[in-house]
Amino acid sequence: MSLCVRYIEDCRIREDFLTFIPIYDASGKGLVHTIMHEIDKLGLKRENLVGQGYDGASSMSGIYNGVQKNICNLVPHALYVHCAAHSLNLAISKSCDIPEIRNCIGSISTITSFFRKSPISLLRFKELYLPITNTLRELEHHHNLETSQHAFQLSKTITSSSFVILLYVTEKLFVITLSLCKSLQKINVDLSECCAYVNNCVQVINSIRENSEEEFHKLFLEETIFT
């Protein structure tokens, strides 16, 4: 486990890594014992602990036996905050359960594995779309039957209008949420700034929803030009 502290120094927010801690007991109480022992060993004062932040794993965030609850029992004013960037990631992951989006991203992952190169992100995939489709068409005539069939299947998938439109939709939303994710992970960001970033992101997405016909028309035109 990595132990980091976030604090104010000369009116500036700082975030520093302190140490790695070996874990032998992964239960809520076991983790708390390890964390508090390390804090005491480093000479940090418990009364200065006013907040604690982790992901949403039950061992960390559990309201009865999680780390945050057990630390609150020892230091009542240590407010638990779920990692904002992790919450965003969970929300995006949930939205990717939509069958069409899941299939689109699955196809991109399959193509990445097929070429066996460094990972191709969604944005990079769009940039490389034409070279990839051209390469797949060439590989359709490969002497190896398995390679030829696989290339043909992938080519048919990613050249369909529905796939390209979904690629544009997903990219548009991921660009918005990627910017938010980077903002939430800034070292000097505070809670009010986080809320402002989230609200701005929500407003942008709501604006897209409210003007869905116009937005889809733009996407359709882009898809037509793109293909």
- Tell which of 88, 107, 133 closes a domain: 88
pLDDT score recorded for residue 118:
47
pLDDT band at 190 (very low <50, low <70, confident <90, very high): confident
Q: Which domain holds residue 50?
A: 2-88
Does any domain span residue 50?
yes
- My answer on whether 112 and 201 are in the same domain is yes
Tokens of 140: 């359709």
Say if 6 falls within a structural domain: yes
Question: Is residue 13 in some structural domain?
Answer: yes
- Which of 174, 176, 179, 180 minimizes the C-alpha distance to 126? 174
Q: Tokens 């004062």 map to which residue? A: 45
Tens-place pLDDT, residues 84-134: 888 888 888 888 888 888 888 888 878 777 765 444 566 777 788 888 888
Q: Specify whether 103 is located in the same domain as 62.
A: no
DSSP string, 105-140: HHHHHHHHHHHTSSPPPHHHHHHTHHHHHHHHHHHT
Q: Which of 30, 55, 88 is the last residue in one of the domains?
A: 88
Residue 22 and residue 127 in one domain = no
The CA distance from 169 to 209, in Å, is 12
Predicted confidence (pLDDT) per residue in 17-30, tens digit: 999 999 998 888 89
The number of CA neighbours under 13 Å toward the Cβ of 101 is 15
Contacts with 5 (C-beta within 8 Å, 6 or more apart), sequence order: 15, 16, 18, 44
Q: Mean pLDDT lowest for which of 105-119, 134-148, 160-174, 182-196?
A: 105-119
Q: Within this chain, do residues 218 and 150 fall inside the same structural domain, yes or no?
A: yes
Both 84 and 102 in one domain: the answer is no
Number of domains the chain is built from: 2
Quick one: 203 and 169 in the same domain?
A: yes
| Domain assignment present for 42 | yes
Neighbours of 184 (CB within 10 A): 20
d(CA 125, CA 131): 10
Residues 82 and 181 in one domain: no
> Is residue 18 located within the same domain as residue 112?
no
Does residue 93 lie in a domain region? no
196 and 112 inside one domain: yes
